[in-house]
Structure 1
Amino acid sequence: MEVHKAVILLCLFLFTGFLRCHSQSTDVLEAYIKTDGAWIVKLPKSQYTVKTVEDCAVKCNKETSFTCRSFLYIEKDQDCVTLPANSKTDQILRRISAALYEKKEYLLECVNGIGTDYRGTKSKTKLGKTCQRWEGTFPHVTNITPKTHPKADLESNFCRNPDGDKGGPWCYTTDPEKRWEHCDIQDCTEECMQCSGENYRGKISTTASGFTCQRWDSQKPHNHGYIPSALPDKYLEENHCRNPDGEPKPWCFTTSPSKRWESCSIPRCTTEPPTIVPELTCASGEGSSYRGTIAVTVSGKTCQEWSSQSPHKHSRTPENYPCKGLDENYCRNPDNERSPWCYTTDPETHWEYCSVPSCGDQLRPEEPVIPEGEECYEGDGSSYHGAMSETVSGKKCQFWTSMEPHRHSKTPQNFPAADLRRNLCRNPDGDRAPWCYTTDPTVRWEYCNIERCDSKPNCKVGNGETYRGPTSTTIVGVTCQAWSSMTPHQHASFTPETHPDKGLESNQCRNPDNDVNGPWCYTTDRNKKWDYCQIPDCDGLKCGQPAVKPKRCFGRIVGGCISKAHSWPWQISLRTRQKINRIYQPLFSSPSAYKILLGIHTERATESSKQERDVSKIIKGPAGTDIALLKLDRPALINDKVLPACLPEKDYIVPSNTECYVTGWGETEETGGEGFLKETGFPVIENKVCNSPAYLNGLVKEHEMCAGNIGGGTDSCQGDSGGPLICYSQNTFVLQGVTSWGLGCAKAMKPGVYTRVSKFINWIERSMKEN
């Protein structure tokens, strides 16, 4: 390994927080917000060749041709484009090599002091009058214009304070009887919330009872699944109060061991909340903008009025959710559910989803999509119709019908032939591969984690010195820098000229220095010079990486889809000797009463790949837990049909809404597929939500976790007990839960409960050593 690679690693280990190994000139970027994969086409513009992104920021700050509100930086070409536009004024387009940097001051919709530096887009006065354009002469001839005040940014008809008025920003009005008027714009220092505080970004970090908030990136004193890195669109910063899950107001976990979480006291803002474009006949995305008059659920039940507490008591009231259109008993989505819903007038049915037509979507978001044979794409992927909804770096895809967090024009209405269902990876515009917009506000779009059907074998022998496969992204999904390029990273030791026989012709991952850890590459991230790549072994199988890729269908076990044979090779069948059937009860008998079948797909177990083992010992988990280890009488033969899933990191908490999968031969309530291994995918539900009175009312313990669809219809069931809850991460399936218990099968408001495996890692390792 050459010296400069080791130096970079040293920097990573020694420095934390905001301290970086590169120049401290990055301070100039603190005034900007970055979005990867974003591009603005706007005239006028200025174009420069610069050495660094910081140099480009300086060009924007010193721009004299126009007011520079943002700039584009193309790192590969060291190209800098300064612009008078930003995401609030112009359409954002896709471009993989570009990053958009927007000045924060032009994105703020609040004022500092008297607001002479206000550069927002409010264009109405306190009394609701529309502002006149600053360069206009009707209905008022004005003496303050863009020419008389060139530095005041008197653009369009936006509220401004060009003359230092102590009352704050103002404008000339379009009312002939009222020459000018002040605008009602929130003070940046005012701590208040709009609506239910979903977009609250303030710094209050104390609860209503005075508890100090726990940091979101901490798991002490309370474990939780609201992980900032996994939920970037929720802005879970430091220990500030936030509302990531549809509560009536912002909240936080507390630093008191005796109080898990509590709401925060944040007053409502006096300014008008953001306006929405109401959808009256259909619902886009999750239906938060639906304002139609449908008031009947999918099963035909009449909806209960939102202002009523009979027959069902609830907190989704017009007072708690003032911006959600909770009028009468119409179907709505006030709390980020999958689609519009309502409480019902049936005392036996708390709530249900409604049959609201989708605006151009071919399927409602909750409907299962079970495509066959779609593990790869042909050509440019325009014909790909698979179920992948994850990008190369592991980011979740945004719904095509949604405009949050990224506004775009790639909708089902505009591209009716592109099969833009749900948030599934597609290629509507003839790009080189399937892609999607991401749910990360800082990354507009990425290509999806799908291989071409005709790609070269993407595996390595040994340490991968001879690897010549197509992978060109690092283990965390960053694109590799071309070996012949010297930007963003200068290097001289590994180029096509110095190593002509090492396959360094493009930017694919290679191992020119015989690194024992495998192929690597220089990265296009200027903050990280190089990194390893995720290349599977050709001559050996790894945990959690099945040879047959699963469907990963988002359906249900109860009424679900049949798995592809041997796509979940860690699934075993535990049976009793007296009667060969599924086990429904805890392990009370002696080890000799059981046998284990591996490598099977059907309950009949007639496959030639079947391996049968006896149980020599049962090691039960700690008191009060529902987990056990079974020791086999002899080792299982690991092959492409028998392979373990990976274990999670100790105490790891799966982030809220992570899509995980369960498999089993359990009860399907006569929905078909009996006798074959079935699978389903559904989201993890944070224990805070799962333990609320409407759901499992405090029954879920810290060493347990919930998963399922709140509306029901998807669950593990009898006979699936002890089966795996598998979550996908970085091309690997990890055993995060063990099917434990539930109140019925696939019932609304009653998600399944699973033993949280990460809480038992020490016990598992100790038990294996001692036995």
Structure 2
Amino acid sequence: MDHKVVILLLLFLKSGHGNSLDNYENTQGASLVSLRNKQLAATSVDECAANCEAETEFICRSFQYHNKKQQCVIMAENSKSSPIVRMRDVILFEKKVYLLECKTGNGKNYRGTASKTKSGVTCQKWDATFPHKPNYFPDKHPGEGLEENYCRNPDNDQQGPWCYTTDPNKRFDYCDIPECEVECMHCAGENYVGKISKTESGLKCQAWDSQVPHAHGYLPSKHPNMNLKMNYCRNPDGELRPWCFTTDPNKRWEFCDIPRCTTPPPSSGPFYQCLKGRGENYRGKVAVTVSGRTCQRWKDQTPHKHNRTPENYPCKDLDENYCRNPDKETAPWCYTTDSEVRWEYCAIPSCESSPSSAEHSDGPVLPEQTPVVQECYFGNGDTYRGTSSITVSGKKCQSWSSMRPHVHNKTPEKYPDAGLIMNYCRNPDADKSPWCYTTDPSVRWEYCNLKKCSEAGSSAVESQPPAQVPSAETTSEPDCIVGYGKTYRGKKATTGTGTPCQRWAAQEPHKHSIFTPETNPRAALEENYCRNPDNDVNGPWCYTMNPTKLYDYCDIPQCAPALYDCGKPRVEPKKCPGRVVGGCVANPYSWPWQISLRTRLTMRHFCGGTLIAPEWVLTARHCLDKSLNPLYYKVILGAHQELKLESHVQAIDVARLFLGPSGADIALLKLSSPAMITDKVIPACLPSQNYVVADRTLCYVTGWGDTQGTYGAGLLKEAQLPVVENKVCNRFEYLNGRVKSNELCAGHLAGGADSCQGDSGGPLVCFEKDKYILQGVTSWGLGCARPNKPGVYVRVSRFVNWIEETMRLN
């Protein structure tokens, strides 16, 4: 049997023949507006899927499952035909076959909505008899998907889907349906979603969610749009074709052998004559780089040999010597005709009159002087106007003006008074707290990771809490939750609207079977107390005593933090975009873990460092080359100015030095006395052991180093830099294999922002959920802010055990 037919059969197996949920796309928090549906009881998602497969009164294209209600709704519509609304505690499942607009094999199972022939003639409806009397029609061929006038293949024609036409002189014609990239690839395989999982030399691929044997930054949870499933070959970084990390410890990665599809690729348009986003669809005729150098023709190999050829990248329009972006760079570029300069970016005029929107940028583009704004909310948060853009589970928010990955109607135009700016958390529809659509295609929306402002002594714009925060034990309200409240064992027994909770063991007024003391013995489902047995991201809940309201959430505050929270500055950082040349001057004291390492006698700054505990500072090993005598050094904490130190600055001697493991540019300094934790001096958080920062994660480097003539000398500066996966950073064009596995790269490949001399030993911190994590120690680079030469940082997560053991024993 033809291998495509086998794959097709596997793809569309009925329930009971394999995992039926593999045939569905699922989206949390999404509810479909359906006119034709059935509501059924179901104790599991699998049972609901079986109901959808077994439906005979209509074609079931989707279903949604309400976990707490144990309710299944099967529907004739999907998101292509009906709008989607936000809803808690629901997951929408849509059959993939009705979402695809491509065919596998001869398209016998194509169920898309194409309705024109390859010559552009509109198709005749299958139940119509004019202008042509059909041989195939819905009543006689019920399993062939003969709906409306969509292209189909009811007779298993080897030339693919077809239809009767509305042209009286042309009875039927074939439709131009592109091949699904299942076991073949179009272009460079950027959209390949097949299941090949061996390399061209026969090595088995490493799973994308595994860090063994090779640690990497292509994390499925951080790159939900890249379809990094199982250990299947993929192309997330603009390579020549799909590849994978291998299970061979001696071979980090290798290409996979995937044939090209024989049908034309689907259109990747629209194309532009100006710069939009990263310029991947730029098709203009600019052929000069930013420095004025002429571009080398893409098909030529002189003066520079390369593999970005028209043959290797057939869909990227590499004609002549025009600037293009074939490989997911940050902007169009070209090889130059200057033998001394291999390649450069091009100066392409923007399609927008203003800077690119958040839909296309790597993060919020804030004005140079951003005021410190409120990062907590009052009431239900409908007046919140802060800049938080992270959800409770750590997902990045989608821009309100964007329709990717989620189409919605909460736009700035429709809600002009809701403050729907960039991708900031907001509450345009008076929900219980600020929320946003997420950038994860499988999670439509979530509440944001924000806390309520203290009602006492706070103003609507307050963002700097007092220096000393009382612990949970000393607060007047001990009934509180940590995180989602899964471990909450308090005695709150009313919902947020004041409705009494039903006892978990009771079956009146609501019958239920999933969340009972017997089925969840470890969840402490006692009495009628609010609990969170399913770790709901909205917090503790209960079944209610209101017969018309099955369940609702309880309004229980978050527990107050300890004396200090690592990685949480009391002054909101400016977070200026790295596109600002050389970064920008930081808001004073917004990076409170930054220290200045100085010689004790001259008090001259020469290196940076990071406070990671009251008595401990992490820095680069090479910063201690001057002397191994701890009395030689002095640590300055809480400073903003390099020379004119403020009165509150703490200057502490170094008591002991600890050099990192052999070959690692890392060292620990133990202070002669603990630093006083204030609103200007707070430690950064350490990452978990062996944690790998995802590729393209936006992080921040700070320091008083050489500014290369840019503004801000003598003041603490910051720069926003994207992490560059080691696989990319080690390419010939960049650092050519110099970067080790215990190091990481960060920087704009166009140059312009970087750490520099004097920043060595300082922090590279990345924001994760609600705090800044120290992921890198500034180590080395080839020059400062040079194009194609990102900075290199010690990967702190590789040394967490050494750090913690050293601090514990000393």
State the TM-score, normalized to the length of structure 1: 0.82
Instruction: Give the corresponding residue for 2:344.
Output: 351
TM-fit CA distance, 1:429: 7.1
**Aligned counterparts of 1:123 and 1:276: Cα–Cα separation in 2:** 20
User: 1:462 is paired with a residue of what secondary structure?
Assistant: helix
Q: Is the 8 A contact 1:541 1:640 kept in 2?
A: no
* Contact 2:287–2:322 (CA under 8 A) maintained in structure 1: yes
CA distance 1:38–1:344, shift in 2 (3 Å):
farther
Q: For residue 765 of structure 1, give the secondary structure of its aligned residue in structure 2.
A: helix
Question: Residues 284-313 of structure 1: CA distance to partner in whole angstroms, max 9, x if unpaired?
Answer: 544433444455555666554444445544
Tell me, in whole angstroms, the C-alpha distance in 1 between the residues paired with 2:29 and 2:352: 27
1:461 aligns to what? Answer: 472
For residues 491 and 188 of structure 1, do their structure 2 counterparts lie closer, same or farther at Cα, with a shift above 3 Å needed? same
The verdict on how the C-alpha distance between 1:508 and 1:208 changes in structure 2, with shifts beyond 3 A counting, is: closer
Deviation at 1:688, TM superposition (A): 0.4
Answer yes or no: is the 8 Å Cα contact 1:285–1:402 preserved in 2: no
Task: State the Cα distance separating 1:632 from its structure 2 match.
Answer: 1.9
In the alignment, does 2:183 pair up with 1:191? yes
Q: Which residue of 2 aligns with 1:389?
A: 389
Measure the CA separation in 2 of the matches of 1:130 and 1:270: 25
Matched, 1:643 2:660: no
2:194 counterpart SS class:
coil
Contact in 1 for aligned 2:532/2:539 (Cα 8 Å) = no
1:560 to 583, 586, 594: 583
The alpha-carbon distance between structure 1 residues 40 and 251, as it changes in their structure 2 partners (threshold 3 A), is same
Instruction: Measure, in 2, the Cα distance between the counterparts of 1:495 and 1:217.
Output: 34
- Going from structure 1 to structure 2, the CA distance change for 1:446 and 1:287 (only over 3 Å counts) comes to farther
- Is 1:445 aligned to 2:482, yes or no? no
Which 10-residue stretch deviates more, 57-66 or 295-304?
295-304
- Residues 1:694 and 2:733 aligned together: yes
Q: Percent identity?
A: 52
1:551–1:563 contact (8 Å) kept in structure 2: yes
- The equivalent of 1:593 in structure 2 is 632
> Which residue in 2 is equivalent to 1:551?
574
Q: CA deviation at 1:726?
A: 1.2
Task: Supply the AA of the counterpart residue of 1:374.
Answer: V
Correspondence for 2:366 = 369
Distance (Å, rounded) in 1 between the aligned partners of 2:287 and 2:376: 42
Structure 1, 583-592 or 119-128: larger mean CA deviation: 119-128
Q: Does the CA-based 8 Å contact 2:61-2:75 persist in structure 1?
A: yes
Distance 1:721 1:556, change over 3 A: farther
1:80-115 Cα distance to aligned partner (Å, 9 max, x none): 443322234445454455432102332345667765
**Which residue number in structure 2 is paired with residue 490 of structure 1?**
515
Q: 2:138 is aligned with what amino acid?
A: P
Structure 1, residues 366-396: CA drift from partner, whole Å, max 9, x if none?
6942432234376776776654332221112
Classify 1:410/1:262 alpha carbon distance in 2 versus 1 (closer, same or farther; 3 Å): farther
Question: Structure 1 residue aligned with 2:326, among 330, 334, 343?
Answer: 334
**Alignment of 1:716 onto 2:715:** no
What is the CA-CA distance between 1:175 and the residue it aligns to?
A: 5.0
Change in CA separation of 1:362 and 1:469 when aligned onto 2, cut-off 3 Å: farther
Q: Which amino acid aligns with 1:544?
A: G
Distance 2:336 2:430 in 1: 45
**Any idea what the Cα deviations from partners look like across 1:210-266, whole Å, max 9, x if unmatched?**
333222233233221122232222222222211111112101112333322121121
Segment drifting more, 675-684 vs 443-452:
443-452
The answer as to 2:603 corresponding to 1:604 is: no
2:724 — aligned with what? 685
SS in 2 for 1:614: strand
Distance 1:187 1:472 in 2: 46
Q: How far off is 1:153 after superposition?
A: 1.9
2:799 counterpart SS class: helix
Q: Which amino acid aligns with 1:689?
A: V
Cα 1:190/1:439, change in 2 over 3 Å:
closer
Cα displacement string for residues 179-219 of structure 1 (whole angstroms, at most 9, x for unaligned residues) = 23455667879621112111111121222233332222332
Kept in 1, the 8 Å contact 2:636–2:652? The answer is yes
Give the structure 1 partner of residue 13 of structure 2.
none
Q: Report the AA paired with residue 125 of structure 2.
A: R
Tell whether the 8 Å contact from 1:377 to 1:383 is kept in structure 2 after alignment.
no
The CA deviation at 1:672 is 2.3
Q: Relative to structure 2, which stretch is displaced further, 592-601 or 466-475?
A: 466-475
Partner SS for 1:762: helix
* Secondary structure at 1:273 match in 2: coil
1:91–1:291: structure 2 CA closer, same or farther, 3 Å change rule? farther
Q: CA contact under 8 A between 2:486 and 2:540: conserved in structure 1?
A: no
Q: Gaps (5+ residues) in structure 1? A: 1-23, 511-518, 525-529
Q: Give the aligned residue type for 1:369.
A: L
- More displaced 10-residue stretch of structure 1: 556-565 or 742-751: 556-565
State the distance in 1 between where 2:385 and 2:285 align.
Answer: 34
Cross-structure match for 1:209: 201
| Residue 667 of structure 2 is aligned to residue 628 of structure 1 | yes
Partner Cα distance (1:628, 1:50) in 2: 58
AA aligned opposite 1:350: W
Deviation at 1:699, TM superposition (A): 0.8
Does residue 239 of structure 1 match 2:237? Answer: no
Alignment of 1:107 with 2:130, yes or no, is no
Task: Indicate the residue corresponding to 2:75 in structure 1.
Answer: 83
Query: Are the equivalent residues in 2 in contact too, given 1:557–1:663 (CA < 8 A)?
Result: no
Q: Which has the larger displacement, 754-763 or 639-648?
A: 639-648
1:730 aligns with 2:727: no
Contact preservation (8 Å) 2:199, 2:255: yes
CA distance in 1, matches of 2:419, 2:787: 30
> Shift of residue 565 of structure 1?
3.0
Q: Determine which of 259, 267, 271 is the counterpart of 2:263.
A: 271
- Whether the aligned pair in 1 keeps the contact of 2:382 and 2:430 (CA below 8 Å) is yes
SS in 1 for 2:605: coil
Distance 1:463 1:394, change over 3 A: farther
CA 1:646–1:183 in 2, change beyond 3 Å: closer, same or farther?
same
Moved more, 622-631 or 155-164: 155-164
Secondary structure of residue in 2 paired with 1:763: helix
Q: CA RMSD in A?
A: 4.3
Partner of 2:550: none
Contact 1:340 1:356 in 2 (8 A): no
Over 3 Å counting, the alpha-carbon distance change for 1:432 and 1:671 in structure 2 is farther
**1:50–1:624 distance in 2 versus 1, CA, 3 Å:** closer
Secondary structure, aligned partner of 2:774: strand
**The 10-residue stretch of structure 1 (619-628 or 26-35) with the greater mean CA deviation from structure 2:** 26-35
Alpha carbons of 1:539 and 1:403: their partners in 2 closer, same or farther (altered >3 Å)?
closer
2:593 counterpart residue number: 570
Q: Counterpart of 1:5? A: none
Tell me if structure 1 keeps the 8 A contact 2:749–2:790: yes
2-structure distance, mates of 1:166, 1:640: 72
Displacement of 1:553: 3.2
Residues 706-759 of structure 1, C-alpha deviations (whole Å, 9 max, x = no match): 111222222111111000111222323222110001112222211110011122
Aligned equivalents of 2:371, 2:679: Cα separation in 1: 20
SS in 2 for 1:586: helix
Distance apart, 1:635 and its partner CA = 2.6
Alignment map for 1:149-228 (pairs within 5 Å): 149-163=141-155, 165=157, 169-174=161-166, 176-182=168-174, 191-228=183-220
Confirm or deny that 1:655 pairs with 2:694: yes
Counterpart contact for 2:426–2:436, Cα < 8 Å: yes
Residue by residue, what CA displacement relative to the aligned partner does 1:453-480 show, whole Å, maximum 9, x if unpaired?
566899861398934569884589xxx9
Cα deviation, residue 570, structure 1:
1.7
Structure 1 stretch displaced more, 602-611 or 483-492: 483-492
